[in-house]
Structure 1
Amino acid sequence: MINNFKLLQLKEEFIINLDSLEYKFMTKVQEKSLPYSLEGKDVIVQAKTGSGKTVAFSIPVVNKLNVKKFAIQTLVLCPTRELANQVAIQIKKLCRHIHNVKVLTLCGGVPFKPQVASLRHKAHIVVGTPGRVLKHISENNIELENINTLVLDEADKMLDMGFYEDIMQIIESLPKKRQTMLFSATYEKNIEELSSNILNEPIFIQDEEVHTNEVINQKFYEVKQEEKSELLPKLISLAKAKSVLIFCNLKISCEKIADEIFELGYDCVILNSDLDQKLRDETLVLFSNKSYPIMIATDVASRGLDIDNIDLVINYDVAKDEKVHTHRIGRTARAGANGIAVTLYTKDEMDKVLEIKEKFPHIVFEKTIQEEDSYKLESLYRTLYINGGKKHKLRAGDIVGTLIATANLAKDDIGNIDIFPFHSYVAIKKEFEKTALKKLNQNKIKGKFYKVYPR
């Protein structure tokens, strides 16, 4: 098969790196936007999360990078720390064929002073949240004069979170001569206004596959409020889902549903705005690596989530409007995969439902939920916590190597590995959890003993 990234006339080593990352064919968003963005043109891209947009803006950033010029050349703004971290990881992967590229994240929720120290040591690319980036600008910690590219990722979410003024202040500090790429799931008046103020003769690109019925199968069920929790196992069974995200409107509802689901024999985690950053990170790790196959979340807490392979989204509560509904269902059917989104509503919520139906005319209204007793959702993995991370020079390969050598695990027995500055997580097939826990505590990883705990 021909790797059609070759059509972009990238350097051979860049094509080889893309191929090693299993990027065989461009997504629609990449195919439409890259010919323009690689020419240095400003672009506005309307595309849902999971459409390949991160690669779409990262390829031009990496392609034009001058690694010998040790100065910030690209600034990427994201709505949340989680998304910023994920974007930074993706850019680092795309830079693997270039030596000594420094990608720095500047986000809230983590200590400020270490970021100041990192900025003193320079960087090529900065990925951050508007509030924290603006704070560094206001304290003269960051040099912006060499920036030639600005990316606004999930611009609609940043505006929803009240970042308009912050974004405009940041842009006032940037060089006027630059390329700007704006990515947004929606293109409403606020995005139109923002883009008209900051882009120069932009090319507008729309992904026609944004939340189409062929990709996301949407079903609505009218139910009584007190029936909702007992219907969840049936919905999960009917979809044969392995990963489920349940949305609620209130934090107190998350706690209530979690208790009810646990009593029904399911493992779940909760994501709400009460969690501090470390617990939030751990919750996302446990869900994304399938140790806990169900996550219950509020809309505020779920902003900026970038988790693949969510089979089923359940709107336990109807979203407050079609914009929030679009955001919710976009968590499934990512990167061209199919997904199912189910909404439970009561008679009193029909006005909201009809508003959503105007945006999504292919919604199916179901009367009953079929029984599927043969399927039971179970977690395939367990997660181990290791009290060592990036600051200890710990890498995923070190953990894998120790597990294979000491616990006799096969590579397929080891799932996701997430490495943070001072700690790490590794997913292990649950039948090997006790063996892996014992061996990691008894043996050195990269020449050093670490404490390992189950999660």
Structure 2
Amino acid sequence: MSNFTKLNLSDKFLDNLKSLNFKTMTRIQEESLPLSLEGKDLIAQAKTGSGKTVAFSIPIVKKLKVRKYAIQSLVLAPTRELANQIAEQIRKVSRHIHNVKVLTLCGGVPYKPQVASLKHGAHIIVATPGRILQHIFETKIDLSSVELLVLDEADKMLDMGFYEDILKVIEALPKKRQTMLFSATYEKDIETLANQILIEPHFIQDDSVHEKQTINQIFYEVNENEKDLLIPSLIASRKASSVLIFCNTKIKCEELADILYENEVDVLTLHSDLEQRQRDETIIMFSNKSYPILIATDVASRGLDIDDIDLVINYDLAKDVKTHIHRIGRTARAGKKGLAVSFYDEETRYKVEMIEEKFDDLIFGNKDEIEASLDEIDCEYRTLFINGGKKHKLRAGDILGALTAAIGLPKEAIGKIDILDFVSYVAIKKEYIKKANEGLRKNKIKGKFIRCEIK
């Protein structure tokens, strides 16, 4: 694989990429970046974990004129979670440039604060189709300076019924622009959309992420009552420290969470009943390794950028093969090996047969061979909630300094730091969490006492 020095990027840009640990290009980056940096339209078929977010973030940042305070790039995404993660990635890729403003416009969060933020201007917008349309018609958002449009996970947006909304958004954009479409699949509806909105696009395909040696899939035939008993042993015997379990309903998510909690296993749940703040918090605490298990509906099968998931368990088989592929794609990201375990019974055997048509390397295990294990299922970290964020001018360095210099925690005790607009979350090794909490309550951050608590 090539490294980023082969691209026509400034030394500061390359140094920033290196600081983000982007050393060599993934296949989709290697094939798309030379074209996108020349301003070409492109269609990229790439599955999750392929590095596609960086693939379109680099041309967005390269094209940016920071002194021109107008919306220059627009990224459309299917979900709030994905939009937030894309925005965060663009901020990281652009941090060698001062005063870049990236704004997310998504449903599920208050509308008026977004209107106020737009009045202050933005360079890059990351949005869900419904909310950006609301701003087009009500706020009269000015998109006349947009030079680059990205549609990420276009197939998911079409599955969610956003086809007409996408076309309405595009009507508000300049006809002279660069357009990039990223999709995990390339079916007839995607081809139709691409023909309508792209000009002489280059087509790039990367199927390397889900090659058979990357994800091992094991299927167990079990009845409904056996699933709950098998899961703790399955996780412990595989020594999995980060597990994502998919259920088809939010009720089943909560029922399974209760069962595991009664067995002294810490779990998180993610489904549509949760408010956006709760969903953000849940994703952060799972991704920073503070909880070993996340039980979710298909709201988590797409649009979550969480690395190093050891094991995906399909407690219920997905409604279709496409969703199954996206579920198992949560493990083995960026070419790493992973494991996906699926439960089925006589009623859902037909779904297994449909999956078999797509994969020729499925393993059918015997449930009696799952070793009973009493090993503890736990995480190395816990999360400290801090009631202060970007709007309070709080930075990661401020938090790190308070924890190390003022309180005396070793740097290796501190994990991932996530700073949102009004709150922050810090992963801290379990043996230091109480000291960190008590210390921050007694010490100031940037000259102020800030409320904190252990999550």
The alignment's TM-score, normalised by the length of structure 2, stands at: 0.97
Matched residue SS, 1:111: coil
Q: Is it true that 1:134 corresponds to 2:133 in the alignment?
A: yes
The 5 Å alignment of 1:414-425 reads 414-425=414-425
Within 2, Cα distance between the matches of 1:140 and 1:443? 43
Give 1:298's aligned residue. Answer: 297
Q: Contact (CA 8 Å) 1:414, 1:427: kept in 2 or not? A: yes
Give 1:402's aligned residue. Answer: 402
Deviation of the 1:305 alpha carbon:
1.6
Matched residue SS, 1:416: strand
Give 1:191's aligned residue. Answer: 190
Matched residue SS, 2:404: helix
Deviation of the 1:301 alpha carbon:
5.3
Give 1:442's aligned residue. Answer: 442
Within 2, Cα distance between the matches of 1:48 and 1:188? 14
The 5 Å alignment of 1:14-413 reads 14-300=13-299, 302-368=301-367, 369-371=369-371, 373=373, 375-413=375-413
Deviation of the 1:135 alpha carbon:
0.5
Within 2, Cα distance between the matches of 1:112 and 1:250? 29
Matched residue SS, 1:397: helix
Within 1, Cα distance between the matches of 2:422 and 2:94? 24
Q: Contact (CA 8 Å) 2:2, 2:30: kept in 1 or not? A: no
Q: Contact (CA 8 Å) 2:244, 2:309: kept in 1 or not? A: yes
Within 1, Cα distance between the matches of 2:400 and 2:450? 14
Q: Contact (CA 8 Å) 1:273, 1:301: kept in 2 or not? A: no
Deviation of the 1:375 alpha carbon:
4.4
Deviation of the 1:409 alpha carbon:
0.8
Deviation of the 1:238 alpha carbon:
3.2
- Which range moves more in the overlay, 240-249 or 3-12? 3-12
Query: Match of 1:209, as an amino acid?
Result: S
Deviation of the 1:70 alpha carbon:
1.5
Q: Contact (CA 8 Å) 1:441, 1:451: kept in 2 or not? A: yes
Q: Contact (CA 8 Å) 2:209, 2:335: kept in 1 or not? A: no
Matched residue SS, 2:210: coil
Query: Match of 2:261, as an amino acid?
Result: F
Deviation of the 1:263 alpha carbon:
2.0
User: How many residues align structurally?
Assistant: 454
Query: Match of 2:317, as an amino acid?
Result: V
Within 1, Cα distance between the matches of 2:11 and 2:400? 30
Deviation of the 1:10 alpha carbon:
1.6
Compared with structure 1, are the counterparts of its residues 405 and 379 closer, same or farther at alpha carbon in structure 2 (3 Å cutoff)? same
Matched residue SS, 2:208: coil
Q: Contact (CA 8 Å) 2:233, 2:372: kept in 1 or not? A: yes
Q: Contact (CA 8 Å) 1:216, 1:340: kept in 2 or not? A: yes
Deviation of the 1:61 alpha carbon:
1.1
Within 1, Cα distance between the matches of 2:209 and 2:197? 24
Deviations 1:359-397 (A, max 9, x none): 112111112433163743211111111111111111111
Within 2, Cα distance between the matches of 1:99 and 1:322? 44
Note the residue ranges of structure 1 that are not aligned, 5 or more in a row: none
Q: Contact (CA 8 Å) 1:239, 1:340: kept in 2 or not? A: no
Within 1, Cα distance between the matches of 2:180 and 2:328? 25
Within 1, Cα distance between the matches of 2:30 and 2:376? 40
Matched residue SS, 1:62: helix
Give 2:453's aligned residue. Answer: 453
- Which range moves more in the overlay, 62-71 or 144-153? 62-71
- Which range moves more in the overlay, 433-442 or 282-291? 282-291
RMSD: 1.5
Compared with structure 1, are the counterparts of its residues 264 and 374 closer, same or farther at alpha carbon in structure 2 (3 Å cutoff)? closer
Note the residue ranges of structure 2 that are not aligned, 5 or more in a row: none
Matched residue SS, 1:139: helix
Within 2, Cα distance between the matches of 1:96 and 1:389? 18
Compared with structure 1, are the counterparts of its residues 140 and 276 closer, same or farther at alpha carbon in structure 2 (3 Å cutoff)? closer
Matched residue SS, 1:290: coil
Within 1, Cα distance between the matches of 2:272 and 2:116? 29
Within 2, Cα distance between the matches of 1:96 and 1:436? 29
Deviations 1:282-307 (A, max 9, x none): 11112111111101001135542221
The alignment's TM-score, normalised by the length of structure 1, stands at: 0.97
